[in-house]
Amino acid sequence: MVAWITVLTCLVTCLLGSTCAAPLDQAGIQLPPNNGSLEQLSVRLFFNNTSVAEPNPVNAATKYENSLQIILLKNTMKNTYYFVFWQGPSNTAVHLCGDKRFKRVAEAGPFYFTEDRISNPPFPPPLETPIKYSNWKDCWYRAARNPGTFSCGTSKINECALDPRYKEPVIDCGHVIDRRFRRVSYCEF
């Protein structure tokens, strides 16, 4: 009975975050920055999935209304790759098998890689891609083997970042047999 109480006490202590048997960084777990309560941190840690209803776990308190999401698309029949740009609400991952909240606004490619890159997608090579965004003029996504930037006119709107869902598995929609997707980076504005 004493052993059970000890185990339960350790478990509760670990779950509350005050101590843990092994440091989290040695366990291979990276915690997102916690700018809120323990409850908000728990939501960000335990609900990190591809559901379009779930918030982006890293930027749940974003001040931006819109996002530009950069996705690597592989055409398996031709062994070619494209960077596809989706514009929609911030704090939400585009559902690549169909999402009416997002609009496909640009595509760059085809690109050819010497090895299969869908499992480990690179940042876009040096490129400048025009982006159609609302009534704004002269909008561009620019990258050079980094997450890139999104700007309209001469004012830079935002730096882009690695997508928080970058390490998630390849997305295969099933009904489109020659297309596979992988999240790369995103910009919020």
Residue-wise pLDDT for 55-110, tens only, equals 444 455 568 899 999 999 999 999 999 999 999 999 999 999 989 999 999 999 99
In the numeric block, which tokens belong to residue 134? 């609302």
Q: Is 3 helix (H, G, I), strand (E, B) or coil?
A: helix
In the numeric block, which tokens belong to residue 91? 């704090």
Judge whether 189 and 68 are in contact, CB under 8 Å: yes
Enumerate helices (H) and strands (E) in the chain, giving the number of each. 2, 9
Average pLDDT over residues 152-173: 89
Judge whether 89 and 101 are in contact, CB under 8 Å: yes
| Confidence check: pLDDT of 22 > 50 | no
Distance CA(85)–CA(187), nearest Å, equals 10
Domains in the chain: boundaries: 66-188
